[in-house]
Amino acid sequence: MSIGNYILLGPPGSGKSTQAELLRKNLGLVHIDIGSELRAAAEEDTPLGREINDTIHLKHSLTSDVIMRAVFENVIKSVPPEKSILLDGAPRRASQIDEVEAVLRSFGRSIDKVIFINLREEQSVERISKRYLCFGCHRPYILGKDVFSQEMPCSVCGGKIGQRKDDTPEGVRTRHQIFHTETLPVIEYFAKNNLLLTVDGNQSAEKIFEDIKEQLDA
C-alpha cells in the first residue's frame, strides 16, 4: 500500500473515527481530526470558544472557513515533514477546498487520495442516537451494548454519562442535511479530479477497512 496524504470524508455515523485509527496504525499516518480540534476549542471559555460552541452545538452548523484554516494550520505545523497525514473533517464545503489545498502547499504537501465512506441518513440516525459518552473522561459508550441507561455511571471514572448535544436524532438529521448540502459538492469535485475512493459504510468496520486498502492498492 502506498503512503501519501489523504482526506477522509463521510456523513455522521459512517465510522470515520474507526477507519482513521485503522489507517493511522497500518500506514503510520498522523491523524488530524478537525472536528475534535474544534470541539476542544468549543469547551474553552474564550470569545472564539463560545463562538464555535454556539455554531456547532446550538445551531448545528459549520464553522467559518477562517476558523477551520486557523485550526488546521495550527495542528499541521507540528507534524514532521517526513510524516504523511490523514485529514478528517475538512474540507466540509466547496469554499474550504482552496483553503485546505493552500495550507497543504504551504507545507510542501498535496492530496493523494480522498476516501469517502458513504452512509444513508436513516443509518446515521440509528447509529449515532445510541452513542453516549462520559462527560468526565470522555470514554465512549453504546446504549444497549455498553450501558443500558444514561443514569449508569462511567465504569472508568464514575462520571456522568450522556449524549453530545448534536448526537440526538434531531441533531443527527440536521448534521446529515448539512452534509448533503455542503459536503457533496466537495466529493463531486474530488471525483472529477480522479482523487475519490468511495466505500460502502453499511458494513462492518473490518470490511470497510479491507475495501479502503484494496482501492488504495489498486
Question: Tens digit of pLDDT for each residue in 111-169?
Answer: 999 999 999 888 888 888 888 888 889 888 888 788 777 788 888 899 998 887 777 77
Same domain? For 107 and 213 the reply is: yes
**Amino acid identity for residue 24 in this structure:** R
User: Pairing mode, if any, of strands 85-88 and 196-200?
Assistant: unpaired
Radius of gyration, alpha carbons of the chain: 17
Burial class for 30, CB neighbours closer than 10 Å (0-12, 13-18, 19+): middle
Q: Please report the pLDDT score of residue 120 as a whole number.
A: 87
Q: What CATH number does residue 93 fall under?
A: 3.40.50.300
Whether the model pTM is above 0.75: yes
Dihedral sign for Cα atoms in the order 115, 121, 127, 131: positive
Q: What is the model's pLDDT at position 78? A: 92
Residues 176 and 117 in one domain: yes
Residue 1 lies in a domain: no
Residue matched to cell numbers 488504495: 216
- Domain residues for 175? 6-121+168-217
DSSP classification of residue 162: E
Both 87 and 189 in a single domain? Answer: yes
Average pLDDT, the chain: 88
CA dist., res. 14 & res. 72, Å (int): 22
Share of the chain above pLDDT 70, in %: 98
In a domain, 71, yes or no: yes
What pLDDT is recorded for position 173? 86
Residues 152 and 209 in one domain: no
One digit per residue, the tens of pLDDT, for the chain of length 218 reads 446 899 999 998 898 989 999 999 998 899 999 988 888 878 888 877 888 888 877 777 767 898 889 889 888 999 999 999 999 989 989 999 999 999 999 999 999 999 999 998 888 888 888 888 888 898 888 887 887 777 888 888 999 988 877 777 788 888 888 888 999 999 999 999 999 999 999 999 999 999 999 998 87
Residue 53: strand, helix, or coil = helix
What is the spatial distance between Cα 99 and Cα 85, in angstroms, rounded to a whole number? 16
Residues 43 and 94 both lie in one domain: yes
Task: Examine residue 114 and state whether it is found in any structural domain, yes or no.
Answer: yes
pLDDT of residue 3: 61
Q: Structurally, how many domains does the chain consist of?
A: 2
Same domain, 141 and 173: no
Same domain, 113 and 189: yes
